[in-house]
Amino acid sequence: MQSLNIEATENSPKVSLDFENGVIIFEGKSYPENTFEFYEPISKWLEKYFNGNAKETTTVEIKLSYFNSATSQILFDLFDIINDGESHNLVINWYYDASKKSGLKDYEDYAEEFEDLNIKAIEF
Amino acid sequence: MQSTFLNEKSFLQIDDTVIYEFSNKLNEETMIKISKTIQSHLISAQVHIDKIDDIFKILIEIMQNILNYSYDKIELKNNKREAQGILIVTMNSIENTCTIQSSNLIKNTKKAIIQERLHEIQGLNEKDLRRLLRQKMRAKKDIHTKGAGLGFIIIGLRVVKPVIITFTPIENDILKYTLLLQL
């Protein structure tokens, strides 16, 4: 299995899916016009990784400063993949901007919905 | 009739001054430019960060909806689109309120879908809206290739007054769809 790296643009995040180190990072803004198309290879990679290929420890870092409603759905689907898949030691960190009122609320939606994933909130 | 629509102006007004006029032609590139420029003008006017954040989020949702659902949208390269949409953003810095009005042309068949989406959020408080958001994300019922059908909930979470929508007949089965929001 190979790593997958996507550079950030003005409206799409940097995505780093580092297979060797078991580190998954989403960073930046996420409102590409074709959001589902953008995330399709990422979903496929995660499905493969969490189906028998996960490292001993996997760390997921979500550092999205802004995301559109389609990305909200995508994030939900990605957490679904992780939740249904196999992982050993899993750490998920959700970074939020404490100066914005919506920062923590977005986190709470996912943390409550995917309680078993024990998603942690960390201030930017 | 359509040409009258195209002659209307899109602009950002802060208090009594029009700060920024921009094109009605929306595509991914102009969307990024318009939202970033509005954000930067609001920062310069010392509008509160939460308000700027809300305005940015709503503008993106509105502009992406215009690209996805407009009658006059055209297909560009790489599965991208372009459409005409009028955006009027009026910021009252003293009251810290912002009004956003958007208009675009839609087919008559879209009217019922828009009304249904609005009906779903009407009268809901923040807790109920978040519950609906999670329920819809779980059900994945309204997902299509360009969106997840969650835009009105995202808008509902940020407005301070009920969302107003109007449909004005233009010609044959084409309507001018206007959305009016206050946040």
Structure-block tokens of residue A124: 């930017």
Helices (H), B13-168: 28-44, 49-69, 111-121, 126-139, 151-156
- Using alpha carbons, select from B105, B129, B114 the residue that is nearest to residue B165: B114
Residue A49 has pLDDT above 70, yes or no: yes
pLDDT tens-place string over residues A13-46: 999 999 999 999 999 999 999 999 999 999 999 9
Give residue B33's pLDDT: 96
pTM recorded for the entire structure: 0.92
> Is residue B34 classed exposed, middle or buried when 0-12, 13-18 and 19+ CB atoms within 10 A define those classes?
buried
Question: Cβ(A100)–Cβ(A74) under 8 Å?
Answer: no
Whether residue A105 lies within 8 A of chain B, CB to CB, comes out as yes
The predicted complex's ipTM stands at 0.89
A120 touching B (Cβ < 8 Å): no
Give residue-wise pLDDT tens across range B117-126.
999 999 999 9
- Look at residue B142 and tell me whether its pLDDT is greater than 70: no
Contacts of A34 in chain B (CB under 8 A): 79-80, 145-146
Give the pLDDT confidence score for residue B6 in this predicted structure.
Answer: 66
Binary contact (A37, B133; C-beta < 8 A)? no
B134·A113 Cβ contact <8 A: yes
Angle at B156 between CA B150 and CA B159, to 5 degrees: 145
DSSP state of B145: T
Is residue B154 within 8 angstroms of chain A, CB to CB? yes
Within 8 A of B49 by CB-CB distance, chain A residues are: 99-100
